[in-house]
Amino acid sequence: MSITQPVTCKSCRYFIRGMKYCTKQQQTLNDVNNPLCGGAFFSPKSSEKVLSTSSMNYTIPYTPQPATHTLTVPRSPTLPSYSRIVGVSLTKYAPTGINKLDEVLKGGFLRGKTYLVAGETGAGKTIFSLHFLVYGASQLNESGIYLAIDEPAEHVIRGLKSLGWDVSELIDEGKLLFLDMRTHFSKLYLKDEKRRIEPHILIDSIIKNIRKLNAKRLVIDPIAPLMYGTKREDILYTREFLREMVFSLQRLEDVTTIMTSEIPTGSNKISRFGVEEFLATGIIVLGFEEIKGRVYRTMYVRKARWCPVPPVKLIFDIVEGKGIIIKGYYEDILRTEEGD
């Protein structure tokens, strides 16, 4: 049976629409109507396998991927055996789209759980969380919501475009939703300084949008400003607020959430209120480190509950059109620098 070749990259499974990126050619495309491969890679190959989720089937080429390739589902040989040992299927994972990180986590984030991405200003927290959303929407057909807390949602979208990710098509298709919560919160919180916002008001608003979009991925960036409506000295109330929100989201069972938290430079804390790290299933700490005069971006997997992963540190870059690229393990980079 012959298969009609698409005339545009948009109908090719190797094409990442929001990023205009070809995962086969491993480069950004200038003209999606003039495929670099000439259509040679459009047809499925017999060596492909199909993974199934509860809501969809998607086809992924079964070919080895280089460690620096980020925009395909990782095919680590340890995944099937790990799945058999603990009795958890691969559909239990929400791949981040960051290749080496998904290998370390044995498949990605556990679906339906909450993860904390912490780091000082400029460490890459927002890019990390957006990479997670864009990958899910463009590759796995998993809609995602980004709650913009510190800056207008339109600024986030503009920033994505400057990074080489044009997500307008994914927004138009209902795959991504950017909610500007700043105005909403200011109206609630500033109207009456003494007024407390009950957790269910915020939670109901978030869940309403999740159900409307049938979202599977959620980003709250950052988490701390959600608490501005509480009394600063009432830390117990604040912690209960966060606890109720996290538990309510996890009761949805199939929505994987990333909360970001800013760490003051030089601080040993990884969260603002001291409870986020206990509520999170996993913690990723982003930072900077100088090695022999060179400054590197670091990614430290500090916690991965229900996953036998030792604490590990990676070195990464932020690359235009690709997002987060893992360069290697920290110890390997350090060993290379020491050998120079």
43, pLDDT greater than 50? no
Question: For the chain, what is the radius of gyration of the CA atoms?
Answer: 20
3-class state of residue 60 by DSSP: strand
pLDDT for 317 = 96
213: phi then psi, degrees, rounded to nearest 5:
-95, -10
For the whole model, what pTM was predicted? 0.72
Domains of the chain: 65-339 (3.40.50.300)
Question: For 194, which DSSP code?
Answer: T
Token look-up 């499974």 returns 13
- Given a contact cutoff of 8 angstroms between Cβ atoms, the answer to whether 132 and 217 are in contact is yes
Distance, in Å, from the CA atom of 260 to the CA atom of 278, rounded to the nearest integer, reads 14
Strands 294-304 and 282-291: antiparallel
Residue 60 has a pLDDT of: 31
Q: 252-311, pLDDT tens digit by residue? A: 999 999 999 988 777 777 767 667 788 899 999 999 998 888 899 999 999 888 787 888
From the list 179, 114, 17, 117, the residue with the least C-alpha distance to 324 is 117
pLDDT digits (tens, 9 = 90+) for 89-124: 447 899 999 989 999 998 899 999 999 999 999 999
CA distance 328 to 334: 10
Q: Tell me: the pLDDT tens digits for 44-86?
A: 433 333 333 333 333 333 333 343 333 433 332 232 333 333 3
